[in-house]
Chains A and B, each alone.
Chain A
Amino acid sequence: MIEFQTVSKQYPTGQLALYNVDLQMQQGEMAFLTGHSGAGKSTLLKLIALLDTPSEGQVVVAGQNTQKIKQRKIPSFRRNIGMIFQDHHLLADRTVFDNIALPLKIEGMRPQDINRRVRAALDKVNLLTKEKQYPQMLSAGEKQRIGIARAVVNKPAIILADEPTGNLDPDLATDIMHTFKQFNDYGSTVLIASHDHALIKEMKKRIIVLRKVKT
């Protein structure tokens, strides 16, 4: 599902974020991406979602070489990837419902289908009662779960999460990780960047370690 072939990424500033990375993930696999901060975890996730391009090597996602995807095809490519960030990236001026509905509206889904899908996503993250609230009324854990609900509402084939539990206390973090596992059980390929080693070990999934590039 995800394949890196000798991928390097050097930023215009000269900083080498990734060097010679080879990686393979099967469809339906769940894995944790770990390593020291600055080891390039975020960069690796960005390359998968086409938020950035590799300097060298090839990134193949769902059988498509990402460098060969045309500019105007990028948006539809991204719709098959659900991304979750450490800071939830919710829109403050829209309700929880509207935030989650955004990906479906972009796809042009009918309103009645949107209603059904958003409620289903909210149900999965146990926040059905919060749909009319605004993000600032929610706790950090709730915001993160809304972010997850938005990422999975259109049933993406791939779910990427960048430090999704970074701001949460241990209980909530475990809860969130189990939510991801649930989506993995439904068939999504899940890759989570995290440096919470204890939690990762507990999940008993594949762990990919990025070592910091020696400069």
Chain B
Amino acid sequence: MGAKYNKSGSLLSTHIGHHKEAISYSLKRLWQSNLSTWITLAVIGIALCLPSSLYLLLQNLKSLTDDKREVPTISLFIKQNISEQQARDRGELIQELSQIEKVVLVPRDEALADFRKITGFAETLETLDENPLPHVLVVTPHIDLIGNPANDMQKLAEKLETYPEIDLVQMDLEWVSRLRSILRISERAIFIISGLLALTVLLVIGNTIKLNIENRKEEIEVSKLIGASASYIRRPFLYTGIWYGLFGGVISLVLVHLALVSFVAPVNELAKLYSSTFIITGLKVSTTLYILLASSLLGLIGAWLAVGRHLRNSSIPA
């Protein structure tokens, strides 16, 4: 007994052939199936679209803070005896640091002019014989730094303080920490919601595959009778699970993009009212692929669990 066929080709080509067959067979079955399959796919799609859209919302909130006025800046007050040129040179050196997005020098005269305009202290200021304001370097750190632990901003501040021209470093840390904690909470919320919805998808796919197995009981028994291995019987069901996950993922992406399109016009209008250049951003290609991969994987796991549970209780051993 044993391998009787030389014509059946190598073990690898047999394996590839089995996979091809399982893929085409499971796709055909899915395609020929009834309304309930489409409803299942819709359920999976809707469940998956919630975490993706929340993620998108968070991404957009994050990018909103890209707007220059929203980013916490660090103000470097220059010592009184330092000239404007020296301050400008130092500013250019700071600009070279990797953590820095932008450095703007506000010369003391300009600062005084602004101060006059804003506060209405013009007359009081006239009484001073000398400009009391220092040159200021307004440093905008990189946006990445905000999400990082507080000590990164702190470290940057400490480093800036060591420069000889700098008198005082002042930064809006409170702003940073507030933003950071809000983002952290939202991220955690999305994480939990995603987890729960992933579980939902897992259960839906698992249950669908279970019904699938029950409907195909006869086929499974017959396959066993004529010597199909457990993995041969399992394979089409596992692929069916992957298709459910993948197509559910595609539906969710379509839903997210439709929602996004409906948001573009009103958001632009709002941004215009705030004279902001903010533009709503969609899902990146990598994120899209990641969502599809994750949903397919969920399908596979769901199918695997169902197959493991329900293929074993058959009247035929092995």
Contacts and interface: CB of A to CB of B under 8 A. Distances in A.
Contacts of B222: 89-91, 102
Interface string B126-142: 00000000000000000
A199 interface: no
Contacts of A155: 4
B225 A75 contact: no
B226 A113 contact: no
Task: Please indicate which of the listed interface residues B14, B223, B225, B227 has the most CB atoms of chain A within 10 Å of its own CB.
Answer: B227
Contact of B9 (A76, A91, A102, A108): A108
Nearest to A91: B219
Given A77-B1, A108-B9, A102 B18 contact: no
Contact of A79 (B14, B18, B218, B226): B226
Interface in A50-70: 50-53, 62, 64
B318 A102 contact: no
A44 B224 CA distance: 18
A91 B225 CA distance: 13
Interface residues of B, number: 29
B8 A108 contact: yes
Contacts of A105: 18, 21
A74 interface: yes
A107 to B, nearest CB: 6
A211 interface: no
Contact of A110 (B9, B15, B221): B9
A62 B1 CA distance: 8
B229 A76 contact: yes
A106 interface: yes
Given A71-B318, A157-B1, A91 B218 contact: yes
Nearest to A52: B317
A2 to B, nearest CB: 13
A80 B3 CA distance: 10
A71 to B, nearest CB: 5
Given A74-B318, A108-B17, A109-B8, A103 B226 contact: yes
B117 interface: no
Nearest to A90: B222
Contacts of A195: none
Interface in B277-318: 316-318
Contacts of B14: 107-108
Contact of A78 (B21, B219, B227): B227
B5 A106 contact: no
A150 interface: yes
Given A72-B318, A75-B318, A89-B222, A109 B5 contact: yes
7 contacts: A76-B229, A91-B222, A103-B226, A105-B18, A106-B229, A106-B232, A110-B7
Nearest 8 Cβ contacts at the A-B interface: A108-B14, A79-B227, A74-B318, A78-B227, A75-B229, A103-B226, A109-B8, A106-B228
Interface of B: 1-2, 4-5, 7-9, 13-15, 17-18, 21, 218-219, 221-230, 232, 316-318
Interface of A: 49-53, 62, 64, 71-72, 74-81, 83, 89-91, 102-103, 105-110, 113, 150-151, 154-155, 157
Given A75-B229, A102-B223, A106-B226, 8 more contacts: A50-B317, A50-B318, A72-B230, A75-B224, A80-B4, A89-B218, A106-B223, A113-B8
